[in-house]
């Protein structure tokens, strides 16, 4: 009892997909409730219904003991329930201040005009209060990066001083600074007797920050753990419905690889992002690239795939130059971008289109004819072998969960039998079940003699998967570390900062 948020027997379907099946969730004043579950388990659906973004098919909701039926996200916020969504929640073409007071221009009218000066100054206050004073309220939102746009959403929500704050998988997309802002807000809310519902797929993070932890799986509540019951394996088992089988990362410590070089970059320069950087990738090798977010590693990934042209230097595979994406694809190089929603995938298209597009040359008969049956077979093979959770291959990618989107991005390249994969943060925003299957996939590719450049911000993943780790700083490689069972995170971090 004594709960401020109460969801009872909530169900919700999207066509044939049962997103929520008789879900009960309750959160108390003065607590941070964690919500965890694999991608697609229903976390965003349940919380977004509570925050007024969509309707449920059946079930009851209560807020402070009274029936709760918000008519919109703004309505919910005005009554005390705010949510920071997983996706981008700002409008790009307008100013930061207008985003912070979205839908509230009326309260800033001075005669027939909007008093922009007052709006900006109040917006600036809202930004300053959450510790995001580096953002100017007058700036055009589109000119800001993802992190700053997230901070705008946080300022918007916090300006209304909500009693309940839902944070949906926001922290993974943020840097340390952004995370600290969120953690501080969460802690303050808790201290003042308010409530936070914190959604994350990062088990360590969620166990550290939360007072209780509710686990969802396939739209059902599996169990709620009290703080004293937090135990990694028990939570994981509840999430995936079985004990994790086999090892998570690679379990061999033999980092030796054949001499044959399949990809070579020489003396790459590009502003201060790449400074005389050279590297070699061998057959069957996984080379990890680590560093702080502005060290140049994401740019390097794009250069290796011919997506960005360096100011000087060269990339070659099989002795042939890689100067653009077409050449990269001919040389069997594949690339999964860090920002998969805008760069790797076309969200408003089907799984079939997304996977087939990179494989047209493999599907075509006599180079020119695409037989629908062949295309279907090609795509279905990827859907099956990667276990992409979907209704069918015609489903739009925009409706898939993060992990399944990422599987589609992999499917594009695996389908065409890429020999070299450049993966930029491939497991970002992906839960442990999908993560493990991606590691297994990388391992299998390695065994088949394929080669991988693994660009990652996660130390554990770099150490767990790489034959060699190149640590980047200020555009160049500062240190090369070899696979070993004794390598630890501090060894890598030491060279990053
Ligand atoms: N707008 C939508 N249209 C169709 N299916 C959806 C939509 N939103 C969510 N789903 C489906 O509902 C299920 C639950 O999704 P979601 O709540 O986003 O999961 P989570 O946040 O736990 O990753 C998934 O199978 C997802 O594909
Ligand atoms: Mg979600």
Query: What is the Cα 461 distance to its own chain's centre?
Result: 15
Tell which wins on pLDDT, 458 or 331: 331
3-state SS string over 316-350? Answer: EECCEECCCHHHHHHCCEEEECCCHHHHHCCCCCE
Residue 224 is predicted with a pLDDT of 96
Residue whose entry in the numeric block shows the structure tokens 């996984």: 286
Q: Compute the distance between CA of residue 117 and CA of residue 349 in angstroms, rounded to an integer.
A: 42
Q: Which ligand is nearest to the CA of 403?
A: 1
Residues within 5 Å of ion ligand 2, judged at the Cβ atom: 44, 86
Would the CATH topology of 5-240 be identical to that of 261-496? yes
Residue 236 is predicted with a pLDDT of 83
Q: Are 15 and 180 in contact (CB under 8 A)?
A: no
Q: Domain limits of the chain?
A: 5-240, 261-496
Q: Which ligand is nearest to the CA of 395?
A: 1
**Cα 43 to ligand 1 centroid, rounded to whole Å:** 8
Indicate the pLDDT class of residue 394, thresholds 50, 70 and 90.
very high
Q: Any idea of the CA torsion for 443, 449, 455, 461, to the nearest 10 degrees?
A: 20
Radius of gyration (C-alpha) of the chain in whole angstroms? 24
Q: Are 251 and 244 in contact (CB under 8 A)?
A: no
Closest CA to 260 of 416, 479, 467, 451: 451
Q: Which residues contact 16 (CB under 8 A, 6 or more apart)?
A: 391
- Ligand 1 closest atom vs CA 37: 22
- Ligand 1 closest atom vs CA 54: 1
Closest CA to 446 of 250, 315, 308: 250
**Cα 60 to ligand 1 centroid, rounded to whole Å:** 20
Q: Would the pLDDT of 244 be above 60?
A: no
**What pTM value is reported for the model?**
0.63
Indicate the pLDDT class of residue 243, thresholds 50, 70 and 90.
low
Residue 218 is predicted with a pLDDT of 84
Question: Structure tokens of 134?
Answer: 């580096």
**Cα 397 to ligand 1 centroid, rounded to whole Å:** 11
Please state the length of the chain. Answer: 497
Return the CATH class of domain 261-496: alpha beta
Q: Are 430 and 39 in contact (CB under 8 A)?
A: yes
Residue 395 in contact with ligand 1 by CB distance below 6 A = no
Q: Would the pLDDT of 1 be above 60?
A: no
Q: Are 43 and 37 in contact (CB under 8 A)?
A: yes
Q: What angle do CA 384, 386, 391 make, to 5 degrees?
A: 55
Q: Would the pLDDT of 242 be above 70?
A: no
Mean pLDDT (whole number) for 466-483: 96
- Ligand 1 closest atom vs CA 402: 23
Mean pLDDT (whole number) for 460-482: 95
Indicate the pLDDT class of residue 18, thresholds 50, 70 and 90.
confident
Strand ranges of the sheet holding 32-36, from the earlier edge strand across to the other edge: 81-84, 164-168, 195-199, 32-36, 212-217, 220-226
**Cα 20 to ligand 1 centroid, rounded to whole Å:** 9
Q: Would the pLDDT of 43 be above 80?
A: yes
pLDDT in tens, 349-383: 999 999 998 888 888 877 777 788 889 999 999 99
Mean pLDDT score across all residues of the chain? 91
Instruction: Count Cα atoms within 13 angstroms, Cβ side, for 44.
Output: 16
Q: Which ligand is nearest to the CA of 433?
A: 1
Q: Compute the distance between CA of residue 45 and CA of residue 194 in angstroms, rounded to an integer.
A: 22
Q: Compute the distance between CA of residue 99 and CA of residue 91 in angstroms, rounded to an integer.
A: 7
Closest CA to 472 of 288, 340, 285, 322: 288
Closest CA to 453 of 298, 346, 321: 298
Q: Where are the alpha helices (DSSP H) in 358-398?
A: 360-363, 372-385
Residue 351 is predicted with a pLDDT of 94
Q: Compute the distance between CA of residue 422 and CA of residue 469 in angstroms, rounded to an integer.
A: 14
Residue 201 is predicted with a pLDDT of 74
Q: Compute the distance between CA of residue 32 and CA of residue 47 in angstroms, rounded to an integer.
A: 14
**Cα 365 to ligand 1 centroid, rounded to whole Å:** 37
Indicate the pLDDT class of residue 245, thresholds 50, 70 and 90.
low
Mean pLDDT (whole number) for 186-204: 93
Residue 89: exposure state from Cβ atoms within 10 A (0-12, 13-18, ≥19): buried
Q: Give the lowest-confidence range in 162-171, 385-394, 430-439.
A: 430-439
The proportion of the chain whose per-residue pLDDT surpasses 90, expressed as a percent, equals: 66
**Cα 225 to ligand 2 centroid, rounded to whole Å:** 20
Q: Whose CA is nearest to atom 27 of ligand 1?
A: 400
Q: Which ligand is nearest to the CA of 170?
A: 2
**Fold adopted by 5-240:** Rossmann fold (3.40.50)
Residue 14 in contact with ligand 1 by CB distance below 6 A = yes
Q: Are 411 and 358 in contact (CB under 8 A)?
A: no
- Ligand 1 closest atom vs CA 46: 17
Question: Structure tokens of 10?
Answer: 């909530």
Mean pLDDT (whole number) for 244-270: 88
Q: Compute the distance between CA of residue 439 and CA of residue 247 in angstroms, rounded to an integer.
A: 10
């Amino acid at each position: 009892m004594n709960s401020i948020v109460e969801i009872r027997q909530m169900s919700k379907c999207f066509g044939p997909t049962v997103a929520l099946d008789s879900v009960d969730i309750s959160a108390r004043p003065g607590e941070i409730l964690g919500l965890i579950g694999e991608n697609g388990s229903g976390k965003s659906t349940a919380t977004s219904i509570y925050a007024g973004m969509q309707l449920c098919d059946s079930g009851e909701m209560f807020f402070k003991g009274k029936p709760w039926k918000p008519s919109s996200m703004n309505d919910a916020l005005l009554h005390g329930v705010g949510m920071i969504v997983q996706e981008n929640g700002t409008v790009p073409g307008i100013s930061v201040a207008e985003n912070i007071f979205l839908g509230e221009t009326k309260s800033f009218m001075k005669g027939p005009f909007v008093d922009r000066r007052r709006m900006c100054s109040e917006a600036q206050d809202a930004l300053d209060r959450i510790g995001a004073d580096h953002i100017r309220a007058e700036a055009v939102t589109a000119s800001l990066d993802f992190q700053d746009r997230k901070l705008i959403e946080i300022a918007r929500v916090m300006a209304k001083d909500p009693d309940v704050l839902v944070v949906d998988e926001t922290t993974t997309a943020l840097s340390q600074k952004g995370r600290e802002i969120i953690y501080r807000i969460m802690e303050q809310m808790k201290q003042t007797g308010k409530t936070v519902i914190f959604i994350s797929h990062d088990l360590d993070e969620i166990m550290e920050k939360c007072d209780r932890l509710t686990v969802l799986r396939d739209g059902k509540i599996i169990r709620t753990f009290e703080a004293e019951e937090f135990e990694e394996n028990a939570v994981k088992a509840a999430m995936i419905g079985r004990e994790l089988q086999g090892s998570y990362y690679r379990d061999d410590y033999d980092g030796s690889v054949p001499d044959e070089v399949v990809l070579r970059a020489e003396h790459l320069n590009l502003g201060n992002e790449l400074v005389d950087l050279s590297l070699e990738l061998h057959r069957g090798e996984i080379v990890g690239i680590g560093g702080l977010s502005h060290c140049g590693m994401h740019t390097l990934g794009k250069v290796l795939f011919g997506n960005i042209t360096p100011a000087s230097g060269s990339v070659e595979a099989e002795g042939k130059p890689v100067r653009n994406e077409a050449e990269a694809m001919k040389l069997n190089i594949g690339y999964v971008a860090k920002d998969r929603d805008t760069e790797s995938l076309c969200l408003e298209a089907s799984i079939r289109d997304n996977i087939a597009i990179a494989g047209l040359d493999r599907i075509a008969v006599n180079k020119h004819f695409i037989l629908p049956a062949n295309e279907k077979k090609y795509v279905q093979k990827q859907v099956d072998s990667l276990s992409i959770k979907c209704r069918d291959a015609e489903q739009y990618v925009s409706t898939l969960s993060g992990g399944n989107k990422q599987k589609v991005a992999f499917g594009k390249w695996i389908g065409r039998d890429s020999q070299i994969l450049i993966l930029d943060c491939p497991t970002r925003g992906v839960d442990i079940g999908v993560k493990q299957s991606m590691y297994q996939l990388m391992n299998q590719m390695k065994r088949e003699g394929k080669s991988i450049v693994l660009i990652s911000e996660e130390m554990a993943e770099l150490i767990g998967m790489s034959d060699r780790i190149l640590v980047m700083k200020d555009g160049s490689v500062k240190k090369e570390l070899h696979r070993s069972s004794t390598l630890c995170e501090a060894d890598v971090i030491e060279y990053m900062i």
